[in-house]
C-alpha cells in the first residue's frame, strides 16, 4: 500500500463544532468478565440500524461522556459508544496509571514497560465486551462498526484492529505518543498488531503532539505487510504538546471531513 502522508497547510480553527447536539447521552452498563462496566451512548434520531463507532478513551481517570464528540458523530448518522474500561470513569477496578506507577516504583522502567502491555491486554478484554454489547443493540448495524481512540485509547484501537470481531475500520489518534519511547514492549506489541490487522487503520496526529514516531513507524509496518492504511499529520493544534495531544477530542472540526470520508469508504 502506498504510504500517504499529508501535512495539511490549514489554519487551526478553534471555533466550536456546529452540529445538532444530543444534550446528554444515555448511560449504560455492560458486563466484562465479573465486572459491570459503564459507558455512554449517543444515537441519532430514529430506530436505525445505524453504523457505529466505539470510542476508546485515554488514560484519564474520569473520561466522562465527551460532549465534544458525541454530537459530531450523531450529526453524521453514527452511533457513538464511549465505554469506560475498568478502573476509569464510573467503572470499578484498579486504575491503570496507579498500577503502572507501582511497577515503576518497585521494579523500575523495564517492569513498567512489560506491565503496560499486560494491562493493555486486560483492557482489550473490556473493549471486546463493549464491542459485543454495541453489536447487540437493535439501533446498530452489526456489520458496520468501527473503533477509534486517543492516546491509550489509540493503543487499544490498534490492538483491536487485529481481532476477529468483525470490525470495518480503526482510527488511531496518537496511540502511544507518550509511551512509545519508554516502552520497547509496547512498540513490539503494536507493530505485531498492525502487521496482522484485519481492517484499514487511519493514523492521525497533530504536528505538535508529544511523539509522531508511533504513527509513522506503524504505518510503515503496514506498508511492508501490504495492509491498507492512511497516515495524516495535521498542523500544530494549540501551542503545547499537550494541546497537540488533545487534538483528537478538541479538533473535530478540523479532522471531521477526513475521518468521515474514511469511515464512509470502509462501511460500504
Average pLDDT of the residues in 198-206: 98
Task: Tell me the whole-structure pTM to 2 decimals.
Answer: 0.91
Strand pairing report for 169-173 and 201-206: parallel
Which pLDDT score, from 0 to 100, does residue 23 have?
A: 56
Please give the pLDDT value at position 125. Answer: 98
Mean pLDDT of 177-189: 97
Query: Does residue 232 lie within any of the structural domains?
Result: yes
Q: How many domains does the chain have?
A: 1
Residue 263 lies in a domain: yes
Residue at 6 is within a domain = no
Tell me what pLDDT residue 24 has.
Answer: 83
- pLDDT tens for 214-242 read 999 999 999 999 999 999 999 999 999 99
Residue 6's pLDDT band, with cuts at 50, 70 and 90, is very low
Q: Is residue 8 over pLDDT 80?
A: no
Residue 257 belongs to a domain: yes
Q: Is 5 inside any structural domain?
A: no
Report if residue 2 sits inside a domain.
no
Range of the domain at 39: 11-267
pLDDT mean over 37-45: 97
Query: What is d(CA 37, CA 85) in angstroms, rounded to the nearest whole number?
Result: 7
Within a domain: 163: yes
Would you tell me how many other CB atoms lie within 10 Å of the CB of residue 146?
Answer: 26
Q: Residue 33's domain is classified under what CATH number? A: 3.40.50.1820
Across the range 173-190, mean pLDDT stands at 97
Amino acid at each position: 500500500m502506498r504510504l500517504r502522508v499529508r501535512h495539511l497547510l490549514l489554519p487551526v480553527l478553534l471555533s466550536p463544532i456546529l452540529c445538532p447536539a444530543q444534550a446528554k447521552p444515555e448511560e449504560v452498563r455492560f458486563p466484562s468478565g465479573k465486572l459491570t462496566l459503564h459507558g455512554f451512548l449517543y444515537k441519532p434520531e430514529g430506530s436505525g440500524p445505524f453504523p457505529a463507532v466505539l470510542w476508546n478513551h485515554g488514560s484519564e481517570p474520569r473520561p466522562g461522556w465527551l460532549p465534544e464528540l458525541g454530537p459530531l458523530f450523531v450529526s453524521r448518522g453514527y452511533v457513538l459508544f464511549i465505554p469506560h474500561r475498568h478502573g476509569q470513569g464510573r467503572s470499578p477496578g484498579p486504575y491503570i496509571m496507579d498500577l503502572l506507577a507501582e511497577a515503576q516504583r518497585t521494579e523500575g522502567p523495564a517492569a513498567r514497560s512489560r506491565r503496560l502491555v499486560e494491562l493493555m491486554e486486560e483492557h482489550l478484554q473490556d473493549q471486546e465486551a463493549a464491542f459485543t454489547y454495541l453489536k447487540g443493540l437493535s439501533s446498530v448495524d452489526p456489520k458496520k462498526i468501527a473503533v477509534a481512540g486517543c492516546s491509550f485509547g489509540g493503543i487499544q484501537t490498534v490492538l483491536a484492529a487485529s481481532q476477529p470481531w468483525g470490525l470495518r475500520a480503526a482510527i488511531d489518534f496518537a496511540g502511544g505518543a507518550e509511551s512509545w519511547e519508554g516502552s520497547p514492549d509496547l512498540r513490539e506489541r503494536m507493530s505485531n498488531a498492525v502487521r496482522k490487522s484485519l481492517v484499514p487503520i487511519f493514523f492521525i496526529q497533530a504536528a505538535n503532539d508529544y511523539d509522531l514516531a508511533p504513527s509513522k513507524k506503524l504505518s510503515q509496518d503496514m506498508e511492508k505487510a501490504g495492509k491498507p492504511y492512511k497516515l495524516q499529520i495535521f498542523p500544530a493544534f494549540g501551542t503545547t504538546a499537550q494541546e497537540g495531544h488533545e487534538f483528537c477530542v478538541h479538533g473535530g472540526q478540523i479532522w471531521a471531513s477526513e475521518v468521515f470520508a474514511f469511515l464512509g469508504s470502509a462501511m460500504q
